[in-house]
Amino acid sequence: MDRQARRVTWVWLGLVALTLGSAWLGEGLASTGVTAGLVALIVAVKGQLVIRHYMGLTGSGSRLRRLMCLYFVVVPLLIVLVGGAAAALS
């Protein structure tokens, strides 16, 4: 297996581990606010990994890369806001 294939495999395994970690967090082991923050962090990390290794958006001048990076900032912020609101209401 060449170096690139090995890297893609490790990234994929990391994405699987992060997904399983999100599911484990969803079991209610921590408070709603903490869970929302951790899930938001996991979403941001997974998004950056996908952008970098699977979408081929490595050029810094790419509009699509900027749009995707913005998406993976906005979505985690929304997760934190909703998690914080849920924690405040409970």
Say if CB 36 and CB 80 are below 8 A apart: yes
By mean pLDDT, which of 7-11, 54-58, 70-74 is the weakest? 54-58
Token digits for 23?
Answer: 């599911």
Nearest alpha-carbon partner for 78 in 35, 21, 40, 33: 40
- pLDDT given for residue 16 in this prediction: 95
Please check the confidence at residue 14 and state whether its pLDDT lies above 90.
yes
